[in-house]
């Protein structure tokens, strides 16, 4: 497991990297110990050259068979308690935040150490200002969480079950304080692969959460393939690229990192002028890994036949991952907006969700990492307005 350079107590005394005013938020590091099990797939013959489209496609499309896995893992979380008063004696709602591939929990802090007040690119900061507490997780195989076999252990089915187990611990009152009375409402927020994990959780455990927010997510059309553009990220073995940041022990073969700064930007961001270049510099500096097992288990998306609770989709209009061919260099993507958008198509995964409990918002002038753009506050506001309409 990657060691933490700073404790939360030390961080609380340090200013934000953005020099933002205001006190440090009330946050604590939490390590969950979970025993999880799932039916993964047996993946073989990983590519040697990750820029070779033929090798990569052969790996991703190989015939697979079920591979049951089980293990006990340590999962890192950053819990932040909102100090905004809430109306009535109800328990304060909790947002559980799941980042996507190549990101850790700091994605939701706007790449800051903590969700400082005033960070306009921090989802967690916005949520805390509206009275929600947050639990930002490092997925299995990322950040400060355990790093088991990246090929046949760190796959979507097992990663989703680790999150399910954490939700059960939170429901049971373990480690997370619950000020207020009554049952705590839990909202699952995912970005990209975190949204894919959310579809698995709602399909397999529809009782787990009280609402789901999918961000950086839509249903691609048949002619949209993200792989061509993503190859320009130039993925390499993480421990080969930077053995200091990604030591060979925990980061064995199969943990990959994007090495092209331009390629990564064209995949995850919209046009120049829509985001802060220094913020993207920070993004590239802090980038985390992609596990091969995650790559081979992103599809298919299971329908949530019994989940009937509030569901919201928030995605940047120029999302090249879900609404294009993986890079702005291959054409300007457009997810659309309204009932005919690719965001609205996500409703097909949720047939039991009433129309009144489903909505979408297309964030203008934003790419796949919608919250890292100047228009981030528009997206944050839309999602929290939706929660308010649902009594959350």
Spatial separation of the C-alpha atoms in residues 178 and 183, rounded to whole Å:
9
List, in sequence order, every residue forming a beta bridge with 357; answer none if it has no partner: none
20 confidence band (pLDDT: 50, 70, 90): very low
DSSP 8-state secondary structure symbol assigned to residue 113: S
The residues, any chain, with a CB within 8 Å of residue 290's CB and separated by 6 or more, are 101, 102, 235, 255, 256, 257, 258
**Is the pLDDT score of 10 beyond 50?**
no
| Least trusted range by pLDDT, from 56-65, 176-185, 266-275 | 176-185
Q: Residues 281-328: pLDDT tens digits?
A: 999 999 999 999 999 999 999 999 999 999 999 999 999 999 999 999
**Is the pLDDT score of 1 beyond 60?**
no
Length of the chain (residues): 392
**Residue 11's pLDDT is what?**
36
**Residue 144's pLDDT is what?**
98
φ, ψ (nearest 5 deg) of residue 109: -95, 10
Q: Residues 45-89: pLDDT tens digits?
A: 999 999 899 999 999 999 999 999 999 999 999 999 998 887 765
């Amino acid at each position: 497991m990657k060691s933490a350079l700073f404790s939360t107590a030390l961080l609380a005394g340090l200013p934000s990297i953005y020099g933002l005013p205001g006190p440090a938020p009330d946050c604590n590091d939490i390590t969950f110990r979970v025993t999880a099990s799932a039916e993964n797939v047996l993946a073989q013959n990983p590519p040697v050259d990750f820029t070779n489209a033929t090798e990569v496609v052969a790996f991703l499309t190989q015939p697979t068979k079920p591979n049951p896995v089980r293990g006990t893992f340590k999962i890192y979380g950053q819990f932040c308690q909102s100090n905004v008063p809430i109306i009535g004696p109800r328990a304060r709602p909790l947002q559980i935040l799941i980042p996507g591939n190549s990101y850790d929990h700091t994605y939701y802090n706007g790449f800051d150490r903590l969700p400082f007040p005033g960070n306009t690119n921090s989802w967690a900061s916005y949520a805390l200002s509206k009275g929600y507490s947050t639990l930002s997780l490092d997925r299995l195989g990322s950040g400060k969480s355990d790093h088991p076999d990246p090929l046949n252990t760190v796959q979507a089915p097992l990663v989703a079950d680790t999150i399910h187990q954490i939700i059960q611990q939170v429901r049971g009152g373990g480690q997370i304080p619950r000020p207020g009375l009554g049952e705590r409402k839990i909202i699952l927020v995912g970005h990209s692969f975190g949204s894919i994990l959310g579809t698995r959780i709602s399909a397999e455990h529809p009782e787990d959460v009280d609402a789901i927010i999918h961000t950086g997510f839509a249903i691609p059309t048949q002619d949209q393939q993200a792989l061509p553009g993503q190859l320009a990220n130039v993925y390499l073995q993480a421990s080969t690229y930077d053995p200091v940041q990604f030591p060979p022990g925990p980061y064995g073969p199969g943990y990959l990192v994007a090495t092209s700064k331009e390629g990564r930007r064209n995949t995850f961001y919209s046009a120049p002028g829509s985001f802060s270049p220094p913020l993207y510099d920070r993004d590239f500096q802090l980038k985390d890994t992609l596990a091969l097992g995650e790559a081979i288990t992103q599809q298919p998306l299971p329908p949530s036949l019994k989940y009937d609770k509030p569901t919201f989709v928030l995605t940047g209009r120029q999302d090249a991952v879900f609404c294009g061919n993986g890079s702005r260099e291959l054409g300007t993507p457009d997810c659309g907006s309204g009932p005919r958008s690719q965001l609205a198509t996500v409703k097909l995964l949720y047939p039991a969700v009433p129309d009144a409990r489903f909505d979408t918002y297309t964030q203008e002038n934003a790419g796949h990492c919608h919250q890292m753009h100047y228009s981030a506050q528009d997206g944050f506001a839309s999602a929290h307005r939706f929660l308010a309409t649902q009594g959350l």
